[in-house]
C-alpha cells in the first residue's frame, strides 16, 4: 500500500513540475514578444530542466539585451540538444552574432568541420561506428582482391568514405565533450596559472575555447592553436 502511495505521489509531483515549467516557458515567450526581456529571462532561468527550446530562447533574449557572450553560451547549449532540423536557426543566429562582433571567419578546415558537425546529427554515434566497421571490412576485401589489378579506384573510394565516417565519429564526440567554453569578457591570456606570468595574447568576449587543464582557479585553454592560462571564473562551459 505504501508503495502505491509513493508512486502516486511521485506521479503527481512530476505532472505539477512539468506544468510549472511549461507555464514559465509560455510566460517567458509572452514577455519576450512584449519586449520585456529581463522578465522573459527570469522566467526562462527559473526552469529547472532546460531543453533545447529554453536555451534557444534564452540566447535570443540575451542577444536582445546585448549580452552577447551569454547569448552565444545559450545557443551552444541549445545546439548540443538539437535535432538536425533545429540546427539551421541556431547556426544563423551564431553567424549574425559573429558578424556583429567582427569575429574573423573560419578557415577552410573550420568550415569543413562545421559542415561535418551539422550532418553528424543525422545519425547516432553507433550508426556511424557500424558503417565505419562495415566499410573497413569492404576495404580489406577489395584490397585483397584487386591488389594486382587496375581497379584501385574502388579502394580509393572506400578509403575516402572511411575517412569521412571517421570525421563524423570524431565530430559526434567533439560536440558532446565537456571541454568547450565561452569567454564571458575580454581577458589577457597568460603563460601560467597566476598573475605573475607574462601575457601571451588576448581573447575577446564571446570567444570559444577548448579546455585543457585547470589549477588553483586558473584554466589552461586553447584558441586557434595558441595555448595559455586564464582565470576560471571568466569562462562558462557548455
Q: What is the mean pLDDT of each run of 10 residues along the chain (238 residues)?
A: 45 48 92 96 92 95 96 94 86 90 69 76 82 83 68 77 84 76 94 93 92 92 92 92
Count of structural domains, the chain: 3
Tell me the CATH number at 194: 2.30.30.40
Nearest in space to 77 (alpha carbons), one of 208, 219, 233:
208
Query: At which of 138, 156, 176 does a domain end?
Result: 176
* pLDDT for res 6: 43
Burial of residue 92 (CB within 10 Å: 0-12, 13-18, 19+) is exposed
Same domain, 19 and 36: yes
Show Cβ contacts of residue 6 under 8 Å, excluding neighbours closer than 6 positions. none
Q: Confirm whether 96 is domain-assigned.
A: yes
Query: At which of 176, 200, 220 does a domain end?
Result: 176
Tell me the CATH number at 74: 1.25.40.10
Per the CB < 8 A criterion, the answer to whether 125 and 172 are in contact is yes
Burial of residue 70 (CB within 10 Å: 0-12, 13-18, 19+) is buried
CA–CA separation, 139 and 144 (whole Å): 9
Same domain, 24 and 91: yes
* pLDDT for res 150: 62
Show Cβ contacts of residue 38 under 8 Å, excluding neighbours closer than 6 positions. 65
CA–CA separation, 171 and 155 (whole Å): 24
Largest CA distance in the chain: 76
Same domain, 24 and 60: yes
Same domain, 169 and 213: no
Angle 27-57-112 from CA coordinates, rounded to 5°: 165
Structural domain of residue 214, as residue ranges?
180-237
* pLDDT for res 7: 46
Same domain, 127 and 160: yes
Same domain, 122 and 169: yes
Per the CB < 8 A criterion, the answer to whether 136 and 162 are in contact is yes
Q: Confirm whether 188 is domain-assigned.
A: yes
Q: Give the residue ranges of DSSP H helices in 46-124.
A: 52-64, 68-80, 87-101, 108-119
* pLDDT for res 105: 55
Question: If you write DSSP's letter for every residue of 101-119 in order, what string do you get?
Answer: HTPPPPPHHHHHHHHHHHH
Same domain, 138 and 221: no
CA–CA separation, 144 and 146 (whole Å): 6
Same domain, 132 and 189: no
Per the CB < 8 A criterion, the answer to whether 60 and 72 are in contact is no
Amino acid at each position: 500500500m505504501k508503495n502505491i502511495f509513493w508512486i502516486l505521489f511521485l506521479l503527481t509531483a512530476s505532472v505539477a513540475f512539468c506544468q510549472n515549467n511549461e507555464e514559465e516557458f509560455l510566460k517567458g515567450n509572452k514577455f519576450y514578444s512584449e519586449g520585456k526581456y529581463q522578465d522573459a529571462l527570469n522566467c526562462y532561468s527559473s526552469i529547472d530542466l532546460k531543453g533545447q527550446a529554453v536555451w534557444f530562447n534564452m540566447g535570443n533574449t540575451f542577444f536582445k539585451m546585448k549580452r552577447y557572450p551569454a547569448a552565444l553560451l545559450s545557443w551552444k547549449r541549445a545546439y548540443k540538444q538539437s535535432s538536425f532540423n533545429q540546427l539551421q536557426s541556431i547556426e544563423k543566429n551564431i553567424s549574425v552574432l559573429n558578424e556583429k562582433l567582427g569575429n574573423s571567419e573560419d578557415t577552410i578546415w573550420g568550415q569543413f568541420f562545421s559542415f561535418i558537425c551539422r550532418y553528424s546529427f543525422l545519425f547516432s554515434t553507433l550508426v556511424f561506428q557500424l558503417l565505419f566497421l562495415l566499410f573497413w571490412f569492404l576495404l580489406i576485401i577489395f584490397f585483397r582482391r584487386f591488389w594486382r589489378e587496375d581497379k584501385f579506384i574502388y579502394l580509393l573510394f572506400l578509403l575516402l568514405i572511411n575517412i569521412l565516417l571517421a570525421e563524423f565519429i570524431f565530430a559526434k564526440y567533439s560536440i558532446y565533450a565537456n571541454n568547450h567554453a565561452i569567454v564571458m569578457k575580454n581577458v589577457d591570456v597568460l603563460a601560467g596559472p597566476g598573475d605573475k606570468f607574462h601575457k601571451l595574447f588576448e581573447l575577446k568576449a564571446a570567444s570559444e575555447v577548448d579546455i585543457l587543464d585547470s589549477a588553483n582557479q586558473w584554466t589552461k585553454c586553447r584558441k586557434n592553436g595558441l595555448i595559455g592560462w586564464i582565470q576560471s571564473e571568466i569562462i562558462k562551459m557548455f
